Amino acid sequence: MEINYLQRVFQAYYKERKSEIPSVSTINNREFGFIPWNKAIMIRHMGFKDLQALKDYLIESSPRHVYSSGSLYSMPENTNMDQKGYQGCDLIVDIDVDHFYTSCKDDHDIWICKECDSSGKGMITKCPKCGSLKFSTLNWICEECLETAKNEIIKLLEEFLVPDFDISLEQAKIAFSGHRGYHLKIENDKIRALTTHERREIADYLTGHNISFEILGLQQIGSNIYGLIGNNLDWSQKIINKIKDILRNYSDNQIKDLLFQFGFNKNVVKSFINSKQDFLYTITNNTHNLWNIEGFGINNWKKFLKGIIHQIGVEIDEPVLIDIHRLIRYPGSLHGKTGFKVQELTIKQLYDFNPLNENRDDLNPIIFESKKNMQKIKIVESEVPKTKIKGDTYGPYFKDEIIEVPNHIAIFLLCKEVAVPV
């Protein structure tokens, strides 16, 4: 019943606000995919001759999820991947808080073990009670994790793609995904021609995975450790700058926390703090490049640098960047798990963008917002974390509770499948 209801709500949006649905470049060369309301499978290999044809389809079918390809094909409707007439693929980066830790998840992400029935909050890779890998999760949204994801996109553009790949900000198409993250699409001819292998190298570069410390200059000669040479590669420069920033601007307590996070013990941390002024002098002045700190052998330096690289690298979803057959959410469409709009943004609009409390009407993804229009729904999930949208907090709620909430909150909870209409 709520399925029919939500489909009608989505249909009304596609009908009434069709003028706001943007085109993507060369829309007739893109493959489209849809997930309907009644089945959790994607219908792929669809094509549209123009934006109007797509809009007609959206009004008629109003699917739960709408996607289009980063790739261009001469025959996007051909069901055989090898016969689609592949012409190239935009670079697509997906930054989704599902893939990295934020401390707020300890408040709002719930897991339930399917093996032993225990449950808890936070991000887990296995059940902490019984070790089982089979658990279900209820992942929630909050301003804090969305802000983290946004900052990763800004970092990706300003610290990597623009300076290191010669990409202009105009070629970057940014979108709020409608749920827990952001997408970035880079459209230029050079990028479109990249092979899968080259895309993997870009992914490694952005995350900092598989960096060779030896190539960056780290080496041991006798009992001396020689450190990174700040100017020989983009990454060594990024690392040196980050270390300088930490040594100059972090308090001793902040440095301690960071080093504990990297996995160092008390004695090593104390020794590092005692030597921090000397170390800063060494990496700032080019008189010598000896990184000799008591307790730091070559392995501890590698551990330290790994930690620093993790601070600098971007938390991207690697398979999305590498796989040329991926589909990503279509801008202007609705996300079926929230009822929020996939909102396109320029980099300038992104800086102040706050999807859960956006005050610029044309950028507001919460399109069903209504303070007057209330709806009664019943909670069907054992526990629903609290939700803060438009400055108001709703919940937490528990199973069988009947609540009366504004339209956009009701649609959000129905889309999340934690409530049903009454």
Which residues are near Zn ion by CB under 5 A? 104, 113, 115-116, 127, 129-130, 132, 142, 144-145
Indicate the residue among 101 and 398 with the shorter CB distance to Zn ion: 101
Q: Within 10 Å of residue 378's Cβ, how many Cβ atoms?
A: 15
Indicate the residue among 4 and 132 with the shorter CB distance to Zn ion: 132
Indicate the residue among 103 and 254 with the shorter CB distance to Zn ion: 103
Separation of alpha carbons 297 and 308, rounded Å: 17
Indicate the residue among 32 and 140 with the shorter CB distance to Zn ion: 140
Indicate the residue among 92 and 145 with the shorter CB distance to Zn ion: 145
Distance linking the first and last C-alpha atoms of the chain: 10
Locate 400 and state its tokens.
């069988």
Indicate the residue among 117 and 252 with the shorter CB distance to Zn ion: 117
| Sign, CA torsion 24/344/326/323 | positive
Indicate the residue among 36 and 122 with the shorter CB distance to Zn ion: 122
* Burial classification of residue 369, based on how many CB atoms lie within 10 Å of its CB (0-12 exposed, 13-18 middle, 19 or more buried): middle
Shortest approach of Zn ion to residue 140 CB, angstroms? 7
Closest by CA position to 300, among listed 253, 259, 254, 251: 259
Shortest approach of Zn ion to residue 389 CB, angstroms? 13
Shortest approach of Zn ion to residue 386 CB, angstroms? 11
Residue type for position 275: S
Spatial contact of 301 and 225, defined as CB atoms under 8 Å apart: yes
Separation of alpha carbons 422 and 419, rounded Å: 9
Shortest approach of Zn ion to residue 94 CB, angstroms? 18
Shortest approach of Zn ion to residue 109 CB, angstroms? 8
Q: What letter does residue 97 receive in the DSSP assignment?
A: G
Locate 267 and state its tokens.
């004695």
Shortest approach of Zn ion to residue 113 CB, angstroms? 3
Spatial contact of 169 and 175, defined as CB atoms under 8 Å apart: no
Shortest approach of Zn ion to residue 354 CB, angstroms? 13
Shortest approach of Zn ion to residue 286 CB, angstroms? 43
Separation of alpha carbons 119 and 383, rounded Å: 11
Separation of alpha carbons 92 and 104, rounded Å: 27
- For the chain, the farthest-separated pair of C-alpha atoms sits apart, in whole angstroms, at 76
Shortest approach of Zn ion to residue 115 CB, angstroms? 5
DSSP 351-367: HT--TTS---GGG-S-T
The pair phi, psi for residue 58, each rounded to 5°, is: -65, -40
Indicate the residue among 53 and 130 with the shorter CB distance to Zn ion: 130
Indicate the residue among 141 and 328 with the shorter CB distance to Zn ion: 141
Spatial contact of 331 and 342, defined as CB atoms under 8 Å apart: yes
Locate 342 and state its tokens.
């996939």
Shortest approach of Zn ion to residue 387 CB, angstroms? 11
- Residue 375 parent element (H or E): strand 374-379
Indicate the residue among 145 and 216 with the shorter CB distance to Zn ion: 145
- Residue 14 parent element (H or E): helix 2-16
